[in-house]
Structure 1
Amino acid sequence: MGCIKSKTLKVTEESDPNGRYNKTISGRISETMQDSKVSVKKDIHKQATLNETSSSAQSGYTRKDVTKPSSNQQNQDNSEVTSPNERKIDPLKDFKVENTKYDPHETVEMNEVVNLEKPAVKEIVIDEITFKEDTVSKGIGILPWNGQKEIKSLVTGTENDDNKTLKRDVAQEVKEMHVHELPANFPGPVPPKTKKKDLITDTTFTRVDALLDKVDVEAEQSVPRLGLFLSGKFKQDDFKALDNEEAPAEALPKVVPPKSTKNALMSDPDIFKHVDDYSKTVPESVRYSVEKLAEYLSAVARNDMEKIRAFYYWICHNISTPGDLNKVWYSFDKGSDIPERLKHDAASTLRQGQGSCVSVMKALCSVVGISAVTIIGCSKSLRTDPDRDFLPGERNHSWNAVYVNDEWRFVDCTWGSGYLDETGKFHQQYDDFWFFTDPEIFIYDHFPDHPLWQLLDEPKDINEFNKMPCLTKRSKELGLLLISHREPIIYFDKEIHIEIATETLPLSNITADLRDSDNKDVNEHRCMERLDASRFQIRVVPPHSGEYRLSLYGQSKEYKHAKFRRLMEYILRCATPYTDAITFPRHFKVWGPEPNFDDLGFDKSILKHSVFSTDFLEMVVPLDVKREIIINAEMKGHTHAEKDLSGNILLAASKKKRNVFVRFPGRGYYKLDIYAEGKVAEDTLEFVASFLLECQSNDVNVRLFPKYNAEAVCKFQTTLMEPLDRELPENTEVDFCVTSTNKFKKLILAVPFEANDAERLKPIGELKLKEENSVYTYHGRFATPKKGTPFFLAGSASPPNVFMSRIFEFITI
């Protein structure tokens, strides 16, 4: 090659009378190699021959194609014999090329004889180079040189007796370019049969691109060596070692469970708002370089935690399908032959658009000096087959652990970027849950190879992990605790009771979806019961033997705005069902009060019962209240869904209690809904609770309660003692008794003035007052009107309000 010395030459091109051009070099030469820096120092020890063949004596000469020498050419590399169409050129002993950078294409042009098409003056900065034959140069098209005379004549523009002045007829050469015949056995030009997309996939050049990061200084200083390096013909042993290359062991901080929780670190919901907003502004110019990307993302961060957050946010928002090469993808085509190391190379991932996002996270942390590791293990989700057990050492997922604030924390960019639906299709959806997830929550679905990276005081084994049901992130956020059954598959006979709880009380309500093996909704065979403020029970009574899928959903404290979120899923396998199937009323929430019961004036004792059972045809549902409120009730039944059951309930009120009397039509399960006045709108009652009522009596009841006015009952705090039947015999003496904690001005038994009179009442008689222990008792004995006549117990408060309110309604038969 050459030794570098500074010398300035000048090439002048002039036209002769024959239209040809003379080329001389006399001063400074500056060519289009401004972007390259070539510094080569070698001594020449051999001479090589430059063979050029001319198809016409008038055309000057044309050099042979030496980009890939033939075997005959290689055998003649050391020959001193030249043919009549060959001429010798003496190389300069010392000249130097001074450039900033090199361009491989323009370097080839340096070795070619330039065709000059029009008069011009070109300046090329050339360093003095002494060429020598190099075995490395031989396979890649570097011209061999034969003697110093050829170079000298090329530079000075003069030749010896055997060679004339360098002159070329451009028009003649252009003509000859079209008459050159193809070499023997050279395939003729035909349209290609394949398309680019069939030849090149997203990962075709992953290994090639990765080599760009491995080019050493020695290769960069030599065009031949660089060509061989990038073409894979140089340092083959080193290339093979890349596939199995392992990063040097890093001295890591001690791996121990963290002392702080995620909630403690991120108590302020807007703690990362400025970081997240900044991470959305990453320009295209930095996204393909690990160093530039890390520098940009961490520019706004005030500490290591904010840097990690910026990396996590950017990676999660830039993971997409492999078809979008502008974004990162975390999975590879299993049929790909890409070396395993390159699949997890961060630079390759950013450049190719495919790769491992955990490697990107680790690389970004490494740039800014944050300790980070990639943890390999297995994970499971709601799509995981519960019958399949993971084996020791099994791997299907990877995630990161980062060291921040003197503690190790988990981050899973893959799960934080989105989710897979039931068909396996990926949906991009950012999820903050998998950033700094607490270890005791993380272990439900992430099992690392090494137990140390569970970050738990008492690590679990693979068998425990297999038995743990798969919980969603929402169940972990809502503090779900499994009390009775901690296995994902439950075997039982007849019925099963599953108890769950919430430790931190954000879980305020639950619901469940029960489906059979045909995915048919059979929710009438399950019910959810509230045991107390923090515990729930799900009772399932399958109608047939077989397998059922029970999906649980939960609601948070934010009652008015919260939605039910998926918590977990059980597989239920019933061997023997009941002979007579048990059916519950259709209900989509847990039995019992709603979370807003306290705001509506009910005492917390309402939480004590949500399911009531009796062996009789009648029962009372007590409701304690904190203040004077108006309530109402509605009764429904599964087996009596189309039947009006309004006559089967009677409301009673006192100062701090509301009671609902229930009269069952017969055996079975019934639903009792409670409503109370709220702040939504006037004359509107809000839903408070649903209670499940069970009657185990085999008798049948046809008696109905008197109709009641809920507002008047609550206003006067009244309880009807007798009669408790709506239908009374005509023209019969009947005792009427009412108690109240709010004194009436007058309480009468009356009938309407006319048959259709809805307002005015005609008194039958007035009930007499008896006061005892702040309880007012009103009693009277009256004859009932004729058959088919409705009549009322009506009362009025103290003056000035003398309006008579109808409280209870009867009818004669």
Structure 2
Amino acid sequence: MEDLKPDQSGHKQEYPLAYRDKDGTIKVYEEGKEPFVWIKDGSETTKITEDRGSNSPTSSMSSQISGTGESYTEYKKSSGSRTAFPDEEVVVPLSPVPELALPWKRRHDIMPDDMAFREIDEHAMKAPPLVKEDLSQLVQYLSSVTRTNVELVRAFYVWITHNINYDTSGYFGRAPMQPTDVESVLKTRLTVCEGYCKLFEAFCRQASIPVKIICGFAKAFGCKPEEDVTKEIHNAHAWNSVFLEGGWFLLDVTWGAGFVKAKEKKYVPRFNNAYFLTDPEVFITDHFPASVPGYSNCESGREWQLISSKLSKREFINVVNFDKHGKEWGIKPVSHIQSVIHNVENELDIVLKAQYTEMLDFIAFLYEDDRKLDQFTYTYMLSEKKVNIHICLPTTGVFALQIYGRRKKDGRRSDYQPIVKYILQCIKADEDTVPYPAYHTLYGPVEDLHSYGINEVGATYQESEEGEIIISVKPTRYVDILPKLQFGNHNVNLKEYCFVDYSDCFQYINIILRLRYEGYYKLELLTTPNDSKEFSPFVAHLIKCTKACTDGIFPTTKEYALKFKCSILEPLSKHLPPKSEVFVCVKSPIVKEMKFNDCRLKKVDSVTFEGTIKTPAEDCPLSIDACAKDGIYHTLYTYDTVIPLDMISLIPSNYS
């Protein structure tokens, strides 16, 4: 900030002017009066008691001094002595600060991706040993490649988080606590949160960037949902706020450097990008500004939440706290903002939104104590950015739900990362809860559906009350579709219970399913995407069957049925009754001639072949064959003759 000088023109000033001297002290000038010094609360300096009116320095400090929304308490300079104050007394705004300048930019605006500050990060991590113990030299080195205060603050964040470790021995009482002053921290490279914050503050002050230390309580690593962290002093914490581009931003260099495993009393150094200029509504989910005994010279007012609707202590305790990747990827709760969901009955849907990260997929697992239950959840996309996690609770009780995700940029070979954890308290559950098929990715269509030649795929979740269901797909070109049906987690071959019907002349392709068992099925539909000969899934459906089908299996479809673009209307059962008349109807725009065994079918129009044939005796194979213009016959569908079980008792003794 540029120094503000007193008016030398002799004109009467409506408001006093103020300036910050070389020691960092803000001094205020009024015409004909001594300067006033603005210092921290708690100083022994005598406070002015008389009413100075609306034109007093206090009434205009926010705008006159820095434009940051800071508010100062007024103290008169001690009589006849000092012209400035020691560093520990240098001006700090006092709580409450009624008009703090909130950040008008989002973290994503400043840091759109992981590589936004790559050169600055690399430069900070390569700082030579000779400059690491001298603050001014270190700031000079870090600033040599930066052009803005944002870039410089980034360099400070990266250097501190990669060079300073947490003093676990001192924190847990195994050794004397390391001093937290800046000189000691640079020398020992060990400190606790207060030392981290002081060092970051010193970096910023050296660069003339407005900065604050905030104290309060935090939900540290291992904190349980709805745990009241404000009751225990060991949950006290400190972090920083820095003034950039017209607003205050929040960051935590301590947690950016790693985390402490409380049970093992061990520090794990691990760079965490999530706490760099974190959006305030995200930061408040695990950092609560509050007055803490022993934390001096810190801001602690509710205004440092930096959100318009302030959270109460109880709301802070209850609010869901996303994991590192959930924060960093900008994933927000839509349906449930509290970490514990009470009074759940039978099932539940949780909706999340990925604000600016392109997500590849999500999965979720239910846990009962330490037992993993991966057959009671399924996930699907509601829209391009919103995901729905459906949970069916197997019994009453308390369950943990952990949601994971992967980014599109990391690819399908990347590991799933934890996003958020909820606690579900179930008060009512169905007696016979049926598990879902295990499926460790999203249900529904793939994102690049059009590259598979498909335009519509129908609803992701469907129910069948009669055991037979038709899934319709709308293609944009000729496609061969391969259905893959799975019942629960059973290894049952259901290939012949699926049938692909092209009778709508490719306006729609109908996949007909006969469901043998009651319960849940997973149906994957596969085809070849553009510029590929390999079949791969383009959609996954979850289907619930409440009544099993008794119609039997479909005829076996052969390769040339697809090549000739055939669709069969009758018969749609593989097992035909022996010595019986059966009506046959098949459509194809390519076939020239068609026969059922040795019986030729009549071509009734340009695409339709039909006829009535008599089946042979039991256990005889049958087939529908056809040829195109070349006259070479190929098998399209195969059948056999089987006596239905309910007819066996009626067969005469002389049947042959």
Identify the TM-score tier after normalising by the shorter chain: 0.7 to 0.9
- Per-residue CA shift, 1:356-399, capped at 9, x if unaligned? 22221111111121111111122225621114124389752222
Structure 2 residue 404 is the aligned partner of structure 1 residue 564: no
Within 2, Cα distance between the matches of 1:330 and 1:468? 32
User: What amino acid is aligned across from residue 806 of structure 1 in structure 2?
Assistant: T
1:661-672 to 2 correspondence within 5 Å?
661-672=512-523
1:587 offset after TM fit, Å? 1.8
Aligned to 2:203: 364
CA distance in 1, matches of 2:593, 2:421: 58
Distance of 1:273 and 1:484 partners within structure 2: 36
Q: Secondary structure at the match of 2:205?
A: helix
How many Å apart are 1:516 and its aligned residue?
0.9
For residue 639 of structure 2, what is the aligned residue in structure 1? 810
**Which residue number in structure 2 is paired with residue 406 of structure 1?**
246
Q: Secondary structure at the match of 2:472?
A: strand
**Residue of structure 1 in register with 2:255 after alignment:** 415
2:402 matched to 1:554? no
Which of these two proteins has the greater Rg computed from alpha carbons? 1
1:638 and 2:525 are equivalent in the alignment: no
How big is the shift at 1:336?
6.0
CA spacing shift, 1:627–1:414, aligned 2, 3 Å = farther
| Among candidates 104, 107, 110, match of residue 262 of structure 1 | 107
Please state whether the residue corresponding to 1:609 is helix, strand or coil: coil
- Match of residue 605 from structure 2: 770
Cα shift readout 1:395-432 (whole Å, capped 9, x = no counterpart): 52222112222322222222222345696544333233
Post-superposition Cα deviations, 1:159-200, rounded to whole Å, max 9, x if no partner, equal: xxxxxxxxxxxxxxxxxxxxxxxxxxxxxxxxxxxxxxxxxx
Give the secondary structure class of the aligned counterpart of 1:311.
Answer: helix
Aligned to 1:718: 566
Residues in 2 aligned to 1:387 and 1:571: alpha-carbon distance in whole angstroms: 9
- Give 3-state SS (helix, strand or coil) of 2:440's partner: coil
1:744 is aligned with what amino acid?
A: I
Which residue of structure 2 lines up, in the alignment, with residue 598 of structure 1? 450
Equivalent pair of 2:164/2:190 in contact (CA under 8 Å): no
Q: Match of 1:226?
A: none
Q: Counterparts of 1:389 and 1:635 in 2: how far apart (Å)?
A: 48
**d(CA) in 2 for partners of 1:656 and 1:504?**
36
Do residues 315 (structure 1) and 156 (structure 2) align? no
Is 1:728 equivalent to 2:580 in the alignment? no
Cα deviations by residue, 1:675-727 (Å, 9 ceiling, x for unpaired): 11135853x21122221111112x56261111223x64554443321111001
Helix, strand or coil: the match of 1:599? helix
Q: Secondary structure at the match of 1:391?
A: helix
Tell me, yes or no, if the aligned pair for 2:466 and 2:549 is still in contact at 8 Å.
no
Mapped contact 2:170–2:176 kept (Cα < 8 A): no
Q: Secondary structure at the match of 1:306?
A: helix
What does residue range 391-540 of structure 1 map to in structure 2 within 5 Å?
A: 391=230, 396-420=236-260, 425-449=266-290, 450-492=301-343, 494-502=345-353, 504=355, 506-517=358-369, 519-540=370-391
Alignment pair present for 1:707 and 2:559: no
User: Could you tell me whether the CA contact under 8 Å between 1:485 and 1:498 is conserved in 2?
Assistant: no
Letter in 1 for 2:574: R
One-letter identity of the residue aligned with 1:565: Q
Q: Deviations over 1:99-143 (max 9, x none)?
A: xxxxxxxxxxxxxxxxxxxxxxxxxxxxxxxxxxxxxxxxxxxxx
Report the CA distance between 1:278 and its aligned residue: 1.7
- Which whole-Å CA distance do the structure 2 matches of 1:617 and 1:796 have between them? 35
Q: Are the aligned partners of 1:749 and 1:791 in contact in 2 as well (CA < 8 Å)?
A: no
Match for residue 585 of structure 2?
Answer: 737
Partners of 1:266 and 1:480 in 2: how far apart? Answer: 15
In structure 1, what is the Cα distance between the partners aligned to 2:521 and 2:556?
A: 20
Superposed, 1:113-124 pairs within 5 Å as none
Residues 434-474 of structure 1 show CA distances to partners (whole Å, capped at 9, x for unaligned) of 22222222222222222221222222222222221111232
Q: Given the superposition, is the C-alpha separation of residues 303 and 720 from structure 1 closer, same or farther in structure 2, using an over 3 Å criterion?
A: same
Distance 2:531 2:89 in 1: 64
User: Residues 592 and 330 of structure 1: is their aligned pair in 2 closer, same or farther, counting only changes over 3 Å?
Assistant: farther
Distance 1:670 1:290, change over 3 A: same
The one of 544, 558, 567 aligned to 1:694: 544
Shift of 1:492: 3.0
| SS of aligned partner of 1:770 | coil
Q: Retained in 1: the 8 A contact 2:230–2:236?
A: no
One-letter identity of the residue aligned with 1:469 = V
How far did residue 551 of structure 1 move?
A: 0.3
Partners of 1:802 and 1:396 in 2: CA distance: 86
CA contact (8 A) 2:586 2:609 kept: yes
CA contact (8 A) 2:272 2:324 kept: no
TM-score, normalised by the number of residues in structure 2: 0.74
Q: Following TM superposition, by how much is the alpha carbon of 1:483 offset from its aligned partner in structure 2, in angstroms? A: 3.1
Question: Could you tell me how far 1:550 is from its partner in structure 2?
Answer: 0.8
Match of 2:136 among 268, 281, 291: 291
Indicate which of 342, 348, 352 corresponds to 2:188.
Answer: 352
- In structure 2, what residue type is equivalent to 1:764? C
CA distance, structure 2, for counterparts of residue 545 and residue 589 of structure 1: 26
Partners of 1:330 and 1:357 within 8 A in 2: no
For residues 164-203 of structure 1, the aligned pairs below 5 Å read none
Deviations 1:227-264 (A, max 9, x none): xxxxxxxxxxxxxxxxx994422469973211112222
Structure 1 residue aligned with 2:228: 389
What TM-score, normalized to structure 1?
Answer: 0.61
Match of 2:67 in 1: none
Unaligned runs of 5+ in 2: 1-85, 291-300, 643-656
**More strand, by proportion:** 2
